[in-house]
Structure 1
Amino acid sequence: MKPIKISLLIAFIPGLVQAVNWSDGPLMVRSQAPVKSLVLSPMFRPAYYQPGGPQVDAAFYAASIYAIDTDYVMDYYTIEYRLGMLWSPSQRWQFGWSIASRTTNDAHLDQLTLSFHKLFGIDQNGRDQVPKHRSYLSIPKADFEVADFSGESIGRQYELSIGRSLYNRHRHNLSTTVVLAYEDDDNPRSGGGWDGSVQLDYQYAWGDSVAYLMGAMAYTDGDTLFGFELETSSWHWGLGFRHQLAPRHQLLLEYNAADGILHNLGQFKSSVHEINAGYRYHYRQLALEGVIIENFKYPDNSADVALVAKLRYQF
């Protein structure tokens, strides 16, 4: 009788225990919204810490900004290069840092956007009436207008993070993370360059799937952007899902929302809504990720479209 019970237990355990790879976790991609990308914007972070050597990553973001309103015209690209590291010395602690450089280099996304809108019958909103790949920003009531600024720097960000696991049992994991960031003087905002955030991340794992939640409060020391006052604090929240298709392949879907932080400027006072759809391939010490970020609800207040490629390596 005992061998039968042991066999049943062995067969039952895989349904209860979620196998953990070093590359498991959320996508950890930053908002590419016109305003939120210029301050510290919280993202999903791991709720479960897998102890081991440091993980290093290199990410490339390409975003198309297109917003047309009576109060503004925004039509330009942004490029972000980011290097980072995460290290979990134990299941209780996780430390991280990253450095990012942002420019307005040409990302060549206009034709992709035009074709996508045409394929699905989405209104072009004047995209087909203006030159492709232009760099133009106009806010008449702030007496602000600039053109042909492709290739200019829009700042570097330096970031440190400390995370602590609060609960880790069976299918449930909960962690908290404190982040401190500094924006250098190339950032077009005025005022102080320091930002910070505190957040909670929760995940629930079952079988080959994981659902996760994020809630955060972010603070900025900046005063104004484009001549308009910045809200000093903002709430961020999100819901995500990850599914293991095969031993090396994962699909991820994330929804992120945040308070608007720019007063008296059209949709930029409203909340930001973004959807991240990603694919992850991992093999031994290497993980490759591709992500598309799409705007939702208030299209002017987020990138028209953004593409992300990320390479991660576990030492």
Structure 2
Amino acid sequence: MIDWTLLRSFLATVDYGSLSAAATATGTTQPTLSRHIRELESVVGTPLFHRSVRGLEPTEAALALVDDARLMGQAAEALALKAQGKGETLRGTVRITASVVVSNLILPPIVADLRQAEPLIQIELVASDTAQNLLRRDADIALRMFDPTQNALIARKLGDTPLGLYATTDYLNRRGRPQTLTDLLTHDVIGFDRAEDIIKGYAAHGFAVTRNQFPVRTDDQMVCWHLLLAGAGIGFAQDLLAGARPQLERLHLGMRLPALPVWLVMHEEVRSNARIRRVADFLTTALMARLKP
């Protein structure tokens, strides 16, 4: 019999091409992965990887194992999900994933209230703008700002969080208050470095701009937020967050900005787990009270 742990490390190394990248993806250490690969090579009796300029490349023997290993992994994950779904006590760990902004600025007071209400439930919070795979149990509950499409997931839309244009009162007193979208072109707008969402938004309103239009640029949403609060320029922010900051003023320039949907998502196999269901219900109530229906 082959230990599934060894196969999981093997698949991660195949998928990511290096021990360091695989270790980061699986949340383990590079020495542990290396040991797992050596143990698996001992079991199958043949080398599974060779080094190249591109990293670790699987041998023909390794490639012959990949499909069967993936099938075994899917079966193991399905079994674990079903077993997890049978939990009936309000004790243990629940892993939540949400965007970096939501994790930093919206969830902390909610998690604090949850800990008071359910002190036996421990919370792991994964702040990531990359969608975690609930089918692989990367998380128990996900808060997402897009409509989930994966099968075997249950999703509930909790509401919308509109976006607005904001700047600090100090910045506007210093630079003046734009009255039209054309005026916005003469102001310091906090933009994205590589993402093109804001450039496309300008284009939709008839303004062809490049990234050089934005004197301060970053793709990190939390950095955007802190630059906005520091008065570095005009920025885009959720009304839910910016409306609670007295130093920020909302600009009404007629720019059509989308409202971000907020979905709570979990795997259908774990919804019968008492502690996960309790956390999901708590998050639902708290977020719906804050969001627009």
Same fold per superposition (TM over 0.5)? no
Higher radius of gyration, 1 or 2: 2
Q: TM-score, normalised by structure 2?
A: 0.26
| Structure with the bigger percentage of helix | 2
TM-score by length of 1: 0.24
